Amino acid sequence: MARKIGLYGIIGYFLYGLFFYWYLFHFTNTSLPFEYQGTVADPATFLNGRELMLSEEYSKIRNLLFFLSTPFEWLFYLFIMLLGLSTLFKGWSEQSSKYKFVQTSIYVAWLSLFAFIATTPLSYISYKLSKQYNISTQSFGGWMKDELIDFWVNFGMMVLIVCVLYWLINKSAKKWWLYAWLLTIPFSLFLMFVQPVVIDPLYNDFYPLKNKVLETKILDLADKANIPAEHVFEVDMAEKTNALNAYVTGIGSNSRIVLWDTTLNKLDDDEILFIMAHEMAHYVEKHIYIGIAGYLLMSLIGLYLTYKIMEWVISRYGSALKISSVKDIRSLPLFLMIISMLLFLSSPISNAVSRYQETRADSYAVEMTKDAEAGISTFQELTRAGLSQVNPPFLVKVFRYGHPTMLERITLLEDYQIEHRDD
């Protein structure tokens, strides 16, 4: 049975990869519909021939890597169970200590290490791709440093989560999913609160915006929107990427408005103010809190489904997967695999909600600044800097895009220009 499951897993992953290769490289047509050709949304009007070619090449390969990486994670967890590695990790952990917390930590350490080794080649390919197309400016040492920080941050959180999770499972085999969900509420809020001041600085240096004239303009804009902001932060990203970004992060007193220095270097003040107005819209329309509520709802459904699926899988395939019960720490790879699958399958819903919020934020920004031209030039520069497709394939948009496509974003602003031409 174990061999059959493993064979089906490999064949399924191979066919899945072939489908997306065919879909991305031979089936889809990313050219613009006739009615948009020659407009400001047409990349041929603001990208040169080489940039057009590179954006298509880069986007196709990057999208293929995205669609291959998540199911590869599922395959990894499947073989951790089928090959008995999960049993081996459990044995090593029990031999190392008599304390349950230490045993769990050691098990998680081995699982995390093997996952890191298995997924690093795909991560490296993605890094080399972005380097080849001049998106990434990061040295190999810098990239490896970030990967190791990721590993230790994820390991620390994983140990805490797994210890609590399996304590709940052992205490209540039928309701652990509900108790786990109740704990995700304060834990998620805590993470959002500490991320800007504890986690993010591990990767980059943050400091108050140096351009005080621009900061005054941004804070004036925030004041118009009744946003209690006192400082704008910039982050040193030029050593890592040529891409542009700005965002609002955190909640409560730890909320921050952050600009990448690449954005400051490549956009003028009007374009930056448009981006800031867009980010402020998320605060004004309470998108952060709506997002938290949506995440908690999806988490509740996801944990319940995980509970039901784990019970079914173990009852039917437990011997092949070498899992005796849900309480067994060896079921952790199954738990992680199911969670990953549910996140992937639910991403079209979360992305659709996010795209709606981002469209609202674009509309708010142009209404607030009355500067559609700055918005259009901003999105054109974002396309150029990130070598993005203006009109991506349908499945790419559905599974990858938390923002509207550049075609949709630029067209919205162009429509605003036409409607207010005589204002």
Could you list the residues known to form a binding site for Zn(2+), using ranges.
Answer: 278, 282, 358
Please list the residues that pair with 260 across neighbouring strands: 235
Alpha carbons within 13 A on the beta-carbon side of 385:
19
Structure tokens at 134: 């001049």
d(Cα 345, Cα 306) in Å, to the nearest integer?
13
279 is annotated as an active-site residue: yes
d(Cα 17, Cα 266) in Å, to the nearest integer?
37
Structure tokens at 74: 């599922």
d(Cα 224, Cα 277) in Å, to the nearest integer?
10
* Under 8 Å between Cβ of 281 and 365: yes
Structure tokens at 50: 């080489």
Q: Which of 73, 215, 271, 279 is catalytic?
A: 279
Structure tokens at 156: 């620390």
CA distances from 378 to 137, 222, 307, 354 (A): 21, 20, 46, 20
Q: Which DSSP letter does residue 32 get?
A: P
Please list the residues that pair with 249 across neighbouring strands: 256
* Under 8 Å between Cβ of 333 and 81: yes
d(Cα 124, Cα 130) in Å, to the nearest integer?
10
Order the strands of the 206-208 sheet from edge to edge.
206-208, 232-235, 256-260, 246-249
Give SS3 for 422: coil
d(Cα 274, Cα 409) in Å, to the nearest integer?
13
Q: Which of 362, 371, 408, 414 is catalytic?
A: 362
362 is annotated as an active-site residue: yes
Structure tokens at 91: 């044995």
Q: Are strands 256-260 and 246-249 parallel, antiparallel or unpaired?
A: antiparallel
| Residue numbers annotated as active site | 279, 362
